Amino acid sequence: MNRVDRSQQFIDQGRSLVSDPRGTRVAPPAPPVALDLSDDDFVPKGLRAWAGRSSDGFHVQGLVDDEGTTYVTCVLNGVSETLEIAREKALDAFLHPFAYGFTLPL
């Protein structure tokens, strides 16, 4: 008897191959709130964005001011944090913000 035959046999008996009792499955999480990183209000005056990314409600943006000072801003669940980062470490901080001291609540 192959797998398809066994599956149909289980279904005919009112059984399921999934072991979770009915009603105990956890609902998927709500989709994250979209944040428009291209919005002019998101970047403070005097700063320019050089990179931005979003994933599952976590937003990271690299910024530079007119003097060349670099910053990385993270936003998670409506809480934001910005750190000044040395220019030579800015890309790495953008890619791995928690390795550079970000303390946003997860």
Condensed to tens digits (0 to 9), the pLDDT of residues 35-68 reads 555 555 555 678 888 999 988 888 999 999 888 8
Give the tokens for residue 23. Answer: 């009603």
Domain ranges of the chain: 28-100
- Backbone phi, then psi, for 3, in 5-degree steps? -60, -40
Q: What are the angstrom distances between the C-alpha of 2 and each of 9, 17, 28, 30, 50?
A: 11, 14, 32, 38, 56
13-40 burial code (b ≥16 CB/10 A, e <16): eeeeeeeeeeeeeeeeeeeeeeeebeee
Q: What is the pLDDT of residues 61-86, one digit of tens each?
A: 999 988 889 999 998 888 889 899 99
pTM above 0.85, yes or no: no
Q: Which residues pair with 47 in a beta bridge?
A: 65
Please state whether beta strands 70-76 and 58-65 pair in parallel, antiparallel, or not at all (unpaired). antiparallel
